[in-house]
Structure 1
Amino acid sequence: MNTQNKEAVHRITIVGGGAGGLELAVRLGKKLGKSGKAIITLVDASRTHLWKPLLHQVAAGTLDSHADEREYFALARSNHFDFRLGRMDGLSRDKKEIYLAPTLDENGIELLPRQAISYDSLVIALGSQTNDFGTPGARENSIMLDSLAAAERFHQKLINCCLRAQTQDQVAGEGRFTVTIIGGGATGVELAAELHMTTKILSSYGLVNFHPEKDLKIVIVDASPRLLQMLPERLSESVARELRSIAIEVHTNEKVVEVSKAGVQMASGKFIPSGIVVWAAGIKAPEFLKDLDGLECNRINQLVVNRNLQTTRDPAIFALGDCCACPQGEGLPNVPPRAQSAHQQASTLAKSLIRQLQGKSLLEFTYKDHGSLVSLGNYSTVGSLMGAIASGSVFIEGTLAKWMYWSLHKHHQVAVNGLFHTWLSTWAETIDRVRNPRIKLH
């Protein structure tokens, strides 16, 4: 393709390589990029992709992130899109350009200069980050599982505390090491169960003086009346019952007012001394989306879009996933920030952008709630399948729920890697489970 023709081709730029953004880039690359009908560019600040719902397993050490990461450059080559490394920090709607901050190496030396990328259609799919609601000390004294780096930092602290517990009998005055998880949503409860399972396994790897029940205490704190407040009450009760059966302490109706190096202070006056604090309560879109060249956003920085996933003030800019506030209809709440939402939006938007190039109208997005699944490691999996029967939902648990939770990840892998490569990687995972320790020990 010569330069003149290339400049005339429609340019679709996608910012954010999470579940929705990457799936969209792959779909458009195969449909438009391969045939030269459009130039598809994916932008991300990281060089690799990891499915975000797996971060709690990385933190607990039950998943080696290197086994599941995919290189964006390799994905781009095999799926006919371009990849640009960088973090978006600005936008010019008049020039139709986005701006990427300089990329630095581990020593702070500039690796890539400031960049400008042009677009005809822009899709912002930057996901979300943890919302600490301005709680004093939260950002300084707790770990927020927003990234792979944060999950790996938590894992190192956990392993170190377990090693330190080996000498606990010799250190006068030391009690149980406490991990406090603030937030009783899916991330919080899944992390708690994985941690309990990890420490039990760890004690069998030569840490003869480390006793999970005696040396480690896991606590969940949530301001809502019950865990998993947004999910069906029956599912919530089942999860709470399972957590308490493995000695995980649960505090509901407790608002955290301060996080210090010593622990967590609640509004009720209760104080929990803590060695590690994980903040997993609430989300917000990245801060720089607020007032991004006049685009409308809500109080948690989400870009406001219409049913076509177009931003309200610029029809050439779209948003999907956790970073957008998408209406469902009159009297209904916005589409919930879940992985299934991002997947459905990516599928709809891929069809819409193809139709747009054909001179056809955009499709309206309709969210279909397929239910929720919560995994408690090897202990249990529970879920609610929506729309399964006329009355609305079917409650499932046990082996069926475990299989369906596993299949969610596989579904994402198929969307990104294709069926054959997913089949191969699944066999590789099975072999690795036999060859490697059950948890990551470093």
Structure 2
Amino acid sequence: MHRIVIVGGGAGGLELATRLGNRLGKSGRARVTLVDRCAVHVWKPLLHEVATGSLDTHAHEIAYAAHSHWNHFTFVHGEMTGLDRERRCVRLGPMLEAEDGGDEVLPSRDLEYDTLVLALGSRTHFFGVPGAQEHAIALDTLQQAERLRKRLLQVCQRKRALGATEAHEAVDVAIIGGGATGVELAAELRRMESTLRQFRLLSESPRAAMRITLLERGDRVLPALPQRVSDTTQTTLEKMGIAVKVQTSVTRVGPEHVEVDGGASIAADITIWAAGIKAPGVLASLDGVAVNHINQVKVTSSLQSETDANIFALGDCASCSWTAGVMVPPRAQAAHQQAMFLFKALSARVKGGRVGEFRYVDHGSLVSLGSPTAVGSVAGINSSGRFFVEGFVAKLMYAALYRKHLVAVSGLRRTVFAIAAQGLGRLLAPRVKLH
């Protein structure tokens, strides 16, 4: 059988594996294999809610092993470390007891393929800022989100217990990067604060509030979105008591402060880095696979590597042209569209048919600013081809994006049951995870 190996179980990779498994794997026309270094999948746009404890990971995670069994593909737990293009083999590193080390569970392995799909997503780009990698917390993985959540709770508890005055009890949080991740995290932290006060992890005094500062190098937050969305978002954040500083470049990150251009220093008990992305470094080490300056695989209009027709790439790790001089943006909707294209293209390829060309359609963007609020620009019918949405309607549309992802991966019936179970779970526990 034709061997299709997909490396990376993010939104695009998991959806592609699921669709190919149910069509080609189930009928025996191809052997579909998904490789990921983690055992479970959590939709990446939800990580800011994991970090603030407002989302129960156990209720929202998808176990790759079980999901692969139900959808007729094979899951291999491992991390890609190299590639032998002549032998068409993916090299997997040894599997250890824990991410930071421990005994070897499985040795290094080779995985043969006829068609390889790279869907490794992206990692945080620290741009060489001194101290950033050592002292700032990124938000790329579930483990990092959990680390941030626990750190927040620990700092709040320490300040509450040891603060000599109300001013000393305040928790300073600096978020570097005014894109969607930074903006949504800032708003979610403000929501988290009320629950922490309720359960006495923060003082009830206004002076002991969580002081949140959002730093953006450009001249506005959400620079990739329309000006009106950006302006409305900044106004909303400032009404929440979040300090928004644009045209501010970070020059150094220390353990308890952030230095910006001009020599100013901003106090920070916790620093979160949400400014810029790059593809995983392993892609730059693959012999004969062309990548750009941020390690993204250079692909043609059919999402095939420019240097190897047997290798495809999708999502954040692919450098794909959209219009003249503009690349497909690193968004969940792009990964979904590319997964849908590759599902049809690889099904045709197995039959010996033509792959075709990918065309990206921008349906707009939505940003969550807390429980009842969202803002964004979505595809519509007016002179600009867009219409502006905010408030409760925008929040419903934002929530529907995740439901759409669940339906694409798990099917309608499982999604309905999952939503019901999650709703019941919220009735039996605090809104924020407190441990």
TM-score, normalising length from structure 2? 0.97
Residues of 2 paired with 1:27 and 1:313: CA distance? 27
Which residue of structure 1 aligns with residue 150 of structure 2? Answer: 156
Would you say the 8 A contact 1:199–1:212 is kept in 2?
Answer: no
Distance 1:129 1:123, change over 3 A: same
The alignment status of 1:48 with 2:5, answered yes or no, reads: no
| Alignment map for 1:264-303 (pairs within 5 Å) | 264-303=258-297
Paired with 1:363 and 1:213, the residues of 2 have a C-alpha distance of 60
The equivalent of 2:187 in structure 1 is 193
Partner deviation per Cα, 1:293-316 (whole Å, 9 max, x = no partner): 121100000000001000000000
Cα displacement string for residues 14-53 of structure 1 (whole angstroms, at most 9, x for unaligned residues): 0000000000000000010000000000000000000000
Residue of structure 2 equivalent to 1:6: none
Structure 1 unaligned blocks of 5 or more: 1-8
- Aligned mates of 1:440, 1:188 — CA distance in 2: 21
Q: In structure 2, do the counterparts of structure 1 residues 51 and 418 end up closer, same or farther at CA, with 3 Å as the change threshold?
A: same
Residue identity in the other structure for 2:137: I
* Cα deviation digits, residues 47-76 of structure 1 (max 9, x gap): 000000000000011111111011100000
In the alignment, which residue of structure 2 is the partner of 1:81?
A: 73
Inter-partner Cα distance in structure 1 for 2:219 and 2:32: 46
Residue 174 of structure 2 aligns to a residue whose secondary structure is strand
Q: Given the superposition, is the C-alpha separation of residues 11 and 381 from structure 1 closer, same or farther in structure 2, using an over 3 Å criterion? A: same
Mapped to 2, the partners of 1:231 and 1:176 lie a distance apart of 33
Structure 2 residue aligned with 1:258: 252
Distance 1:208 1:76 in 2: 43
Deviation at 1:158, TM superposition (A): 0.8
Alignment CA distance shift 1:207-1:135 (3 Å) = closer
SS, match of residue 296 in structure 1: coil
Task: Give yes or no for contact 2:83–2:287 (8 Å, CA) kept in 1.
Answer: yes
Give distance in 2, aligned partners of 1:388 and 1:153: 43
Equivalent residue in structure 2 for 1:384, among 361, 377, 381? 377
* Alignment partner of 1:328 is 2:322: yes
Q: Distance in 1 between matches of 2:201 and 2:267?
A: 24
Q: Is the 8 A contact 1:10 1:38 kept in 2?
A: yes
User: Deviations 1:318-348 (Å, cap 9, x if unpaired)?
Assistant: 000000000114x240100000000000000
1:40-439 equivalences in 2 (<5 Å) = 40-106=32-98, 108-170=102-164, 174=168, 176-207=170-201, 209-211=203-205, 214-329=208-323, 331-439=324-432
Change (3 A) 1:212 1:57: farther
Q: CA RMSD in A?
A: 1.4
Aligned 8 A contact 2:116 2:311 in 1: yes
1:223 Cα deviation after fit: 0.3
Decide whether aligned partners of structure 1 residues 411 and 33 sit closer, same or farther in structure 2, where only a CA change above 3 A counts.
same
| CA distance in structure 2 between the aligned counterparts of 1:208 and 1:285, rounded to whole angstroms | 38
Larger displacement relative to structure 2 (335-344 or 103-112): 103-112
Higher mean alpha-carbon deviation, 287-296 vs 319-328, is at 287-296
Paired letter, 1:229: P
Cα deviation, residue 100, structure 1: 0.3
Quick check: 1:291–1:297 contact (8 Å CA) kept in 2?
Answer: no
TM-score by length of 1: 0.95
SS at match of 1:227: coil
Distance 1:406 1:44 in 2: 26
Shift of 1:258: 0.6
Contact 1:257–1:267 under 8 Å retained in 2: yes
Shift of 1:171: 6.2
Equivalent in the alignment of 2:10: 18
